[in-house]
Chains A and B, each alone.
Chain A
Amino acid sequence: RKEVEQDPGPFNVPEGATVAFNCTYSNSASQSFFWYRQDCRKEPKLLMSVYSSGNEDGRFTAQLNRASQYISLLIRDSKLSDSATYLCVFGWMDSSYKLIFGSGTRLLVRP
């Protein structure tokens, strides 16, 4: 089983739609969770950290479910500029500071 599993998509949605992605992880010792965004042929950029209580940043809401070992990202009122690949990332809060990346979910927002 992969350490991080994401639906590769693509999710093709109209502008203004709400879209949600899930990501499951296999290592229950994981303690830090993130969503990164990666545009085509560019480096990943941190979108938001994911906290146990859930957190929101504008149109983006992230949730963590430790019992079921998944995190989610909800995007409301999709914009054309949201088209990108969204990477689920987790890490360990130890001295290694390593991050493990999912292969990403591709989102296409159409006019």
Chain B
Amino acid sequence: AQSVTQPDIHITVSEGASLELRCNYSYGATPYLFWYVQSPGQGLQLLLKYFSGDTLVQGIKGFEAEFKRSQSSFNLRKPSVHWSDAAEYFCAVGARSNYQLIWGAGTKLIIKP
């Protein structure tokens, strides 16, 4: 079955510290991978996406993600978080032949001052 797992419901990091949010997927076809961010009270916004090529992709707001096929993972990273990064982050998987994205349950990022 196709699925996306974000194992961490909440993550708390100190401002200025590094961040890694985990995403694992199970998908039969070649995956197209996405990270979206939802700021409090807002809709979702695309952070970055991976289709093919370089497995390290850069996104907006200083985020990057690395696709590791052998581990079925697409983890999101940021070297130094800012208080404005407090939000919920969603990993999603799609495919060329499918209409629907498969969404993870989300990880809420809390920033300690």
Q: Do A and B bind each other?
A: no
